[in-house]
Amino acid sequence: MTKQIKEYLAYICAFMDKEHSPEEYRAERELLLKRIALYQHERLIHLLVTLAFALLFMISLAIFLMIGGIGTAVLTVLLLALLIPYIKHYYFLENSVQKLYTFYYKIEKI
């Protein structure tokens, strides 16, 4: 998904750098709106997964601090190792959708 979003952002940047007819802007605006909707769905799913991993991490950390043990320590580290990439990817999705919003608003003004 990251590669797809980066490619589309590069495409829309190149599109905006050139002059187009009103019909082309209108068609691109509709396509952009569809892409934004798809990426918002992806962003929501990743938010839910990230929150679930954060909650599981906090629970395992609390159990480790109260009870201790090597098993809970390993579980806590593994959940943290999974949580960090999820946060990074969600951050990328959030920023990318925000960039797409700015392009949509620019096209809307034309």
- Give the whole-angstrom CA distance, residue 26 versus residue 37: 17
pLDDT of 110 strictly over 90: no
pLDDT at 1 over 90: no
Inform me whether the pLDDT recorded for 49 exceeds 90: yes
40 pLDDT higher than 90 = yes
SS3 call for 97: helix
72 within 8 A of 64, measured Cβ to Cβ = yes
Question: pLDDT per residue over 52-84, tens digit each?
Answer: 999 999 999 999 999 999 999 999 999 999 999
Residue 94 confidence (pLDDT) above 90: yes
